Structure 1
Amino acid sequence: MVLQRLQKYASLLLLFTLIGCNKTDWNENFKEKEKSPFGNYIIYNEAENLFKDQEVSLLKENIYDYLAFNSDFDSTKTHNYVAIKHSGYKLTNTGVTELLSFVSKGNNVFLAFNSFKDSLKTSLKFTTNNLDKNVYAVNDLKKLKGTFELNNKSFSKTSFSFDRNIRRNYFLQYDENTTSVLGTFAVDGEKVPNFIKIHHGKGAFYLHIHPISFTNYYLLNDKEAYAANVFSYLPNAAVIWDPQIKSSKYEDKKEDDSNVFKFFLEHPTLKWFLFVSIIGVLLFMLFNARRKQRPIPVIEPLKNSTVAFTQTIANLYLKEQDHKNLVDKKIAYFLEKVRSKYLLDTTNLNSDFIEKLASKSGNELQKTKYLVNTIITLNKKPECIEEELIVLHKMIENFLK
């Protein structure tokens, strides 16, 4: 009955998707109102049909607030708490403690997260390993495939192939005395657990590390049987379905104010770094508390802006395409350089001048003669083109080198 409902629902959603005009959003959002491929729209709206003979309450507040402060919560009944999200980041450490107490009294918790809170891992004595934790791009995630198996021979089908966004994420270590492996998938040819049950007190935690398998995309692609089989492991009890749409009103603010220091204090190396830093700051304040001499101001010397000014003027001429003007200034610059460096009279650029300039500058006579003749020619022309300016510039630069 549940499978038929999911198949019918999937067909309708597929029809809406095909006639939609917007570009498909392939981001993993796990939002209960999202009809995109990796939203939780179907699984959220079909919660009551997944647990047909059980009371289903759709949670509208943080689970800690609901369990600790909601007077309508009946603690005498057995409950199944269900959450399918990217991670349990809205579960505070106090919220985790409340869940542990909730399960120890005989209730059950189903969590499908990509990553679990460290406090939960420590309390339940398990670790995880994600070989694809640095894969984020949609095109890269599309290449990740996997086959899931459920360790229950009573199911008509126990093996399911998933064609994208299946990270190599699995449970690495766990207490075999309290933990049962309910599902596996293959990583590099080895079957590793991705769905486990951890007994805690009178109840149990059901942990699944691939929440992507419960999203719209896979329920539209013949994986509704996998979702139904997974939830069939939960015992018959009233269900608290938690989309985690709200943060805690009571604990988040208090924890946010101190979580930085808690993070440091949980790691010995960082704890010592924090202590040494605090002591260093106190010593710095102590030794710098005495009055100091007023610092002597640094007077910057005046900058030579001649080069910048010249560059600005040159750019102006280039912009106006006044090549003749630039040629004349290049020639004037060169002749001034000859007068100051080689102490030669530049009034008459004859053969005698050319021989003296070649001798004093160390340049070849033919090269010197070619440069001086070019200067004489360009000096007489009423207009110059850009190529003549470039040639003159290179000749002067090479000569002076």
Structure 2
Amino acid sequence: MLLKNLSKRFHFISSSNFELRKIVSKTILFLVSLVLLTSCKKTNWSENFREKEKSPFGTYIAYKEATNLFKNEKVILLKENFYDYLFTNYETKRADFGNYIIIKNNANKLPADGINDLLAFVSDGNTAFLALNYFNEDLKEKLEITTNNLDEDKFGVIDLISMKGEFYLNDKKFENQPFTFDRNIRRHYFITYNENNTLVLGTTKIDGEKVPNFLKIYHGKGAIYVHTNPVVFTNYFLLKNKETYSSHLLSYLPSSTLFWDPHTKYSKYSKQREDDRQSVFKFFLQHETLTWFLFVSLAGLLLFLFFNAKRKQRVIPIINPLENTTVAFTQTISSLYLKEQNHKNLVDKKIVYFLEKVRTKYLLDTSNLNKAFIANLAAKSGNEMHQTKYLINSIITLHKKSECTQEELLVLHKMIHTFLKK
């Protein structure tokens, strides 16, 4: 379209104005090249779980389709840490305040006191949905769960591309119906949980055994849903007709406002966050003796720098590393043999090398190359008896000859090389 418009605009230029037409042609060529270069973008295959990312493992589709799944309900993308949102907006206990959902690699930006507030939020009658690759220790302790991630050390695209998975839902509607996923499925599952307040809603098959990967944990008046594979909510699988599984997972949430956590910001109000931000210098300034120690140390450091500013470091001489002449020596020796064409000499050296290798590697006496020696050598080296016998007979024959051809040298080299590879 761009090329058509440019062509129409400059069609009126007369044929006599050759220079102008030349400039126009170069301009069009430049614009075409620019469009082609800027339009070629490399696909991002990393697991980013970002709501605005349209790459394979972003969650753009899941976030946008949440409005269809929760009709007539608000879907709020949090612009602050969830703990901070509750701190400023959740003043009274409300059972219908909403559903909290996080689909990420981990929930490390939710502080320990933030987890307590999240549980209090659920206890009031609200719901939380956590789909994470990694559950931190605070979260697992508060939820009374333990997990096992057999692939926790695998992050690269090459490692994850071959990881397939098979999931099951305990709903009678999907009884014994497997949901298969062809990549990026970590072997992550729940080991233990409190059976008094936990319901297993889904499983994954690992080494032929079904183990829980989707739980509903009752807490107070509400419930927390936890899933071990957030990748099932990414664009890649939703575009591969796998939306039945992910939509059924979210369908357990009640119809209410959905607080979608992008998990991009740390808390501003968390006590834990305040403790992390506390400066070391602030601690020193709180005590008079430490304050004087700090000032004296800084003054001493400044004086040291002042009096040593003019001191110059001695020039370090350049010491050239020793030259490696191994390659040059090898080239010289090979040139001599190539010039002399003394194949018999090389054959003898190959035989000496082979027999020495046999003595050191297989601990055999090579003074008498008889049938017993051949049998022992074949047994210890793992080579066939007829191959070993042919090699030893060839060595004996070539050793007795006064002259050898280039072809005999090459055949002996290949035989020895093949024999020692076993």
Q: TM-score with structure 2 length normalisation? A: 0.55
Residue in 2 that maps onto 1:150? 169
Q: Is the contact between residue 167 and residue 203 of structure 2 (CA under 8 Å) also seen in structure 1?
A: yes
Q: Is the contact between residue 85 and residue 113 of structure 1 (CA under 8 Å) also seen in structure 2?
A: yes
Amino acid at match of 2:120: S
Q: Is the contact between residue 79 and residue 108 of structure 1 (CA under 8 Å) also seen in structure 2?
A: yes
Matches of residues 309-348 of structure 1 in structure 2 within 5 Å? none
Displacement, 1:76? 5.6
Amino acid at match of 1:129: N
Distance, in Å, in 2 between the alignment partners of 1:228 and 1:171 is 21
Change (3 A) 1:99 1:72: closer
Residue in 1 that maps onto 2:135? 116
Matches of residues 228-307 of structure 1 in structure 2 within 5 Å? 228-251=247-270, 253-257=273-277
List 4+ stretches of structure 1 deviating above 6 A. 71-74
Distance, in Å, in 2 between the alignment partners of 1:20 and 1:53 is 38
Amino acid at match of 1:37: P
Residue in 2 that maps onto 1:167? 186
Change (3 A) 1:231 1:158: farther
Q: Which runs of 5+ in 2 are unaligned?
A: 1-37, 279-316, 324-422
Residue in 2 that maps onto 1:184? 203
Displacement, 1:73? 8.4
Residue in 2 that maps onto 1:138? 157
Q: Is the contact between residue 144 and residue 163 of structure 1 (CA under 8 Å) also seen in structure 2?
A: yes
Change (3 A) 1:97 1:74: closer
State percent identity of aligned pairs. 53
Residue in 2 that maps onto 1:305? none
Answering whether residue 239 of structure 2 is matched by residue 226 of structure 1, we say no
Amino acid at match of 2:61: I
Distance, in Å, in 2 between the alignment partners of 1:94 and 1:125 is 17
Over aligned residue pairs, what C-alpha RMSD do you find? Answer: 2.9
Amino acid at match of 2:182: D
Distance, in Å, in 2 between the alignment partners of 1:90 and 1:199 is 24
Displacement, 1:203? 0.7
Residue in 2 that maps onto 1:60? 79
Distance, in Å, in 2 between the alignment partners of 1:43 and 1:73 is 30
Amino acid at match of 2:131: A
Task: Determine which structure has greater relative contact order: mean sequence separation of CA pairs < 8 Å that are 6+ residues apart, divided by chain length.
Answer: 1
Residue 125 of structure 1 is aligned with which of 144, 150, 156?
Answer: 144
Answering whether residue 235 of structure 2 is matched by residue 216 of structure 1, we say yes
Change (3 A) 1:107 1:71: closer
Alignment length (residue pairs): 248
Q: TM-score with structure 1 length normalisation? A: 0.57
Displacement, 1:21? 2.3
Residue 115 of structure 2 is aligned with which of 96, 99, 102?
Answer: 96
Q: Is the contact between residue 146 and residue 185 of structure 1 (CA under 8 Å) also seen in structure 2?
A: yes
Amino acid at match of 1:70: N
Displacement, 1:257? 4.3
Displacement, 1:160? 1.1
Displacement, 1:156? 9.1
Amino acid at match of 2:251: S
Q: Is the contact between residue 47 and residue 241 of structure 1 (CA under 8 Å) also seen in structure 2?
A: no
Residue in 2 that maps onto 1:42? 61
Q: Deviations over 1:107-162 (max 9, x none)?
A: 11001111112112111210000011111221111111001111112259942110
Matches of residues 14-29 of structure 1 in structure 2 within 5 Å? 21-29=40-48
Q: Is the contact between residue 92 and residue 255 of structure 1 (CA under 8 Å) also seen in structure 2?
A: no
Displacement, 1:26? 1.0
Amino acid at match of 2:48: N
Distance, in Å, in 2 between the alignment partners of 1:159 and 1:189 is 13
Change (3 A) 1:33 1:157: farther
Amino acid at match of 2:208: G
SS in 2 for 1:94: helix
SS in 2 for 1:65: helix
Distance, in Å, in 2 between the alignment partners of 1:186 and 1:40 is 25
Change (3 A) 1:123 1:28: same
Residue in 1 that maps onto 2:356? none
Task: Name which of structure 1's ranges 55-64 and 26-35 shifts more when overlaid on structure 2.
Answer: 55-64
Residue in 2 that maps onto 1:107? 126
Residue in 1 that maps onto 2:51? 32
Distance, in Å, in 2 between the alignment partners of 1:102 and 1:241 is 15
SS in 1 for 2:105: coil
Q: Which runs of 5+ in 1 are unaligned?
A: 1-18, 259-307, 316-401
